[in-house]
Chain A
Amino acid sequence: MRNVSERTASAALGPAVTETVVVVPDTPRRSRWPRLVSLALVVIGAALVLSFPFVAPNPYILSAGVVILNYAVLSTGWNFMGGFTGYISLGHAAYFGLGAYGTGLIVKYLQLPGFVAWVLAALLVVAVSIPVGIAALRVRGASFVIVSIAFVLILLLVFQSWREFTGGSEGLIVPRPFPDLMRPEHHRVFFYLFAALLAAALVAWWIIDRSKFGTALKSIREDEDKARSLGVPTTRFKLIAYVLSALVTALGGGLYALWFGDLDPIFQFSILVGSYMVLMALLGGVRHLFGPLLGALVVGIALEYFKLEFGDTQFHLVAAGLLLGVVVLFMPDGVIPAVRALIDRFRPQQTSIRDVTAAELLEQNRAAATSEPRAGASSDHRAGAAPDPHADADNREVVR
């Protein structure tokens, strides 16, 4: 039997948000129905999404909905890497742009139908992401971020300068896959396509989250050296996660190209789009299935609002920057855990077994050993990360 009692708070967001799978012997009364509640909430959420095109008052709102779903796909794609392994890539816009441009260029030069081009482009991106991933994953932490940023910048440079092939700064027109549809119907069709892609990505994330592979990835996130010493093939697993992440992001980009029909290197390969993916995932909570989706809703709506309200000024940058700063400083685990912690404060403590990250564990251990304060961890975190004898193999489930 699963421990569902600690799940009530998260029930609003679905059945798979807790990562802990723990046996709790005596909670028979509460065990069934939070699960039903969360299932019901997922169904209601899905129904709301699916009915959105019918309640949207005008095509603009509908197109904003498509944009937000696109962001949700990208951010969920990012979360395959960022959420599971903790490797924060600020350059995932590279795969968004490659997916989009790949689709557009294949349609343009090979005259293939749009959706065939979409699949081909995604496969091409997988082929590109493998060597890039091998190079980028040779390093950790800071260097990885640098490489991810550099990769976007280099692609921006190439796609802007290689005028005769990519159209350069003038952009690239991608013919619509459904030429006889009117604009609102076009938006509607693509809304459902994006929703289907998002659902597929979420299901894939959910399966990995519950699998042994997912546990191994999370152990990389918490302590890579320890995971490796326990026999997790870290390099290969990181690469698989990276390629999966690139694939989902590229699929989102390709669909964007077919929907929007006009590509511009400045937008497709902008660090800003990459940072939005990070912001959304972080805001919602990278450890949670629906975190990126929730973040995409909040950030996507906010971005549309700022663009409407402040037009061409750069104010939306300031707003995005402030939001990112606040999230990083005050709730680096996202809204979902923050809200859950708030609710948990008003409930009796029910479980003796819970989810603890390596950072929290370090904190607890240090608090427990106040008589012998540890210095040093502030600057050399690798050395400070190892003092815990209780952490088990995947470092996530700790008995207090």
Chain B
Amino acid sequence: MSGSLLLQSVILGVLLGGLYALLAAGLTLYFGIMRVVMIAHSAFLILAAYLAWWFNRETGLDPMLSLVVTVPVFFLAGFLMQRLLVSRLKPLTLTMMSVLLTFAIALIIEGALGFIFTGTQRRIQLPYAGDSLNVFGAQVPVVKLVAFVLAAFALLSLYLLLKYTRFGRALRATIQHPEAARLVGIDTDRTAGYGFGLGLATAAIGGTALSLDATIYPSLHWHWIGPLMAIIVVGGLGSIPGAAIAAMLLGISQSLLQLPLGATWAQTVFYVALFATLMFRPQGFFGGRLAQRF
């Protein structure tokens, strides 16, 4: 195995890990806010990818321009979903029932995509699809780099938003201690709704990034939800930095394992990591206090 091949694998792993990190951050947000495991997250991801593909087919413009529409729409959808659906569930059975509810949403999205766009595999033809950069002998495709930059930019904005704005502080307070947050005057219900909106907005960005260089089909979301779930459990449920670190590590491992094992078997790394985490450290490796109760 040559050094440049190895380097290329690591670079591709980092690029993939960036996308995983962004999506896992969204999942972590939902979980932190309401203890909701959002199975439909990856279905929304594929929905956004389909919208980007459709936008590109209809207008011929760069699929990234579709973000101007999809991000606000997804934000609104997430807000409404939290306010109208998730908040109606009974608190005692919320975690289990929300899984089923979001599962139902995922089925509806998958079915609707298959119904409207058929099950045919789709791919966006970009003018720069074949280009690649040469980094010390490693070939790095430009589209993957663009997707990574998009994801990294979104993740950074999310971080800055949560860390330095008034709204971000309110959201973090809602996650940490809802009762206390209410006591100091935060409208936790509405903040939780916005948090869901943010989560779905990450799915919109991730989906557009994905559509740049992936072949998409309606049932693709099942291939994403498993790894994403594994990432948030390994990272510790509810911890965004944990999810990001786990995403990077697992993304790189998957990319490296593809060399000896092939693409299909390399995916098992996520599940191996998941079961190992549960066996040895059920609260996750980077999670805090929150994760220990689940």
- A-side residues, CB < 8 A to B, are 86, 88, 90, 135-136, 138-143, 145-147, 149-151, 153-154, 157-158, 160-161, 271-272, 275, 278, 282, 313-322, 324-325, 328-329, 332, 358-359, 362-363, 375-382, 384-385
List chain A residues, Cβ under 8 A from B230: 146, 150
Q: Which of B211-253 contact A (CB under 8 A)?
A: 218, 222, 225-226, 229-230, 232-233, 237
CA distance A143 to B119 in the complex (A): 31
CA distance A329 to B98 in the complex (A): 9
- B267 interface hit (Cβ, 8 Å): yes
CA distance A142 to B283 in the complex (A): 12
- B104 interface hit (Cβ, 8 Å): yes
B273 CB, nearest partner CB in chain A, Å: 10
Q: What are the 3 A-B residue pairs with the smallest beta carbon separation, nearest first?
A: A314-B114, A317-B111, A321-B107
List chain B residues, Cβ under 8 A from A145: 37, 96, 99
Given contacts A313-B114, A332-B90, A377-B91, whether A141 and B35 have CB atoms under 8 Å apart is yes
- B164 interface hit (Cβ, 8 Å): no
Contact indicator A328/B104 (Cβ below 8 Å): yes
- B-side residues, CB < 8 A to A, are 31, 33-35, 37, 39, 85, 87-97, 99-101, 103-108, 110-115, 119, 174, 178-179, 182, 188, 192, 218, 222, 225-226, 229-230, 232-233, 237, 264-265, 267-268, 270-271, 274-275, 278-279, 282, 293-294
Contact indicator B103/A324 (Cβ below 8 Å): yes
> Could you name 26 residue pairs across A and B whose Cβ atoms are closer than 8 Å?
A90-B99, A139-B278, A140-B294, A141-B96, A142-B99, A142-B294, A149-B39, A149-B229, A151-B271, A153-B222, A275-B107, A314-B119, A314-B218, A315-B115, A317-B110, A320-B104, A321-B108, A324-B107, A325-B85, A332-B93, A359-B93, A362-B92, A375-B178, A377-B92, A379-B34, A381-B35
Determine which of A90, A146, A318 lies in contact with B115 in the assembled complex, contact meaning CB atoms within 8 Å.
A318
List chain B residues, Cβ under 8 A from A375: 178-179, 182
CA distance A376 to B293 in the complex (A): 16
Contact indicator A359/B90 (Cβ below 8 Å): yes
Q: For the complex, would chain A's binding face be called helix, strand, loop or mixed by DSSP majority?
A: helix
Determine which of A143, A275, A321, A324 lies in contact with B233 in the assembled complex, contact meaning CB atoms within 8 Å.
A143
Contact indicator A314/B113 (Cβ below 8 Å): yes
Contact indicator A88/B92 (Cβ below 8 Å): no
List chain A residues, Cβ under 8 A from B92: 358-359, 362, 377, 381, 384-385
Given contacts A135-B275, A153-B226, whether A88 and B99 have CB atoms under 8 Å apart is yes
List chain B residues, Cβ under 8 A from A147: 233, 274-275, 278
Contact indicator B100/A88 (Cβ below 8 Å): yes
17 extra A-B contacts, CB within 8 A, seeds A154-B271, A332-B90: A88-B96, A139-B294, A142-B35, A145-B99, A149-B226, A150-B230, A271-B222, A313-B114, A313-B115, A324-B100, A328-B97, A378-B87, A378-B91, A379-B174, A379-B188, A381-B94, A384-B92
Contact indicator A143/B294 (Cβ below 8 Å): yes
Contact indicator A382/B107 (Cβ below 8 Å): no
List chain B residues, Cβ under 8 A from A272: 107
Determine which of A139, A315, A332 lies in contact with B111 in the assembled complex, contact meaning CB atoms within 8 Å.
A315
Which residue in chain A gives the minimum CB-CB distance to B279?
Answer: A135
CA distance A86 to B94 in the complex (A): 12
A61 CB, nearest partner CB in chain B, Å: 26
List chain B residues, Cβ under 8 A from A319: 111
Contact indicator A136/B91 (Cβ below 8 Å): no
Which residue in chain A gives the minimum CB-CB distance to B229?
Answer: A146
CA distance A325 to B105 in the complex (A): 7
Which residue in chain B gives the minimum CB-CB distance to A381?
Answer: B91
B203 CB, nearest partner CB in chain A, Å: 18
Contact indicator B35/A379 (Cβ below 8 Å): yes
Contact indicator A328/B89 (Cβ below 8 Å): yes
List chain B residues, Cβ under 8 A from A384: 91-92
Contact indicator B113/A143 (Cβ below 8 Å): no
Determine which of B103, B237, B270 lies in contact with A142 in the assembled complex, contact meaning CB atoms within 8 Å.
B237
List chain A residues, Cβ under 8 A from B265: 157, 161
List chain B residues, Cβ under 8 A from A314: 110-115, 119, 218
Contact indicator B105/A321 (Cβ below 8 Å): yes
A108 CB, nearest partner CB in chain B, Å: 23
Contact indicator A316/B111 (Cβ below 8 Å): yes
